[in-house]
A = this chain, B = another copy of it.
Amino acid sequence: MRKSRSSENFSNKTALDKGGIDFIELEEIVRYSETDQMGVAHNKNYFEWFEIGRTEYCRQKNIPYKDIEAQGFYLVVVEAFCKYKKPLRYDQKFIIRVFLQSITPKKVEFTYELVTKEEKRMIASGYTIHIVTNSKAKTCSLPPHIINSLKGAQT
Contact = CB atoms under 8 A, between A and B. Distances in A.
A3 interface: yes
A3 B6 contact: yes
Contacts of A44: 33, 44-45, 47-48, 51
Contact of A43 (B45, B47, B90, B127): B47
Interface stretch (A14-22, A73-81, A144-152): A73-81
Contacts of A65: 32, 91
Contacts of A128: 43
A61 interface: no
Contact of A36 (B3, B35, B79): B35
A83 interface: yes
A109 B122 CA distance: 23
Contacts of A81: 3, 79-82
Contact of A32 (B33, B55, B129, B137): B55
26 contacts: A2-B6, A3-B6, A3-B79, A3-B109, A3-B127, A5-B6, A6-B6, A31-B51, A31-B52, A31-B55, A32-B37, A32-B42, A32-B51, A32-B55, A33-B48, A37-B38, A38-B76, A43-B80, A44-B44, A44-B47, A66-B90, A76-B84, A77-B84, A79-B82, A79-B84, A87-B137
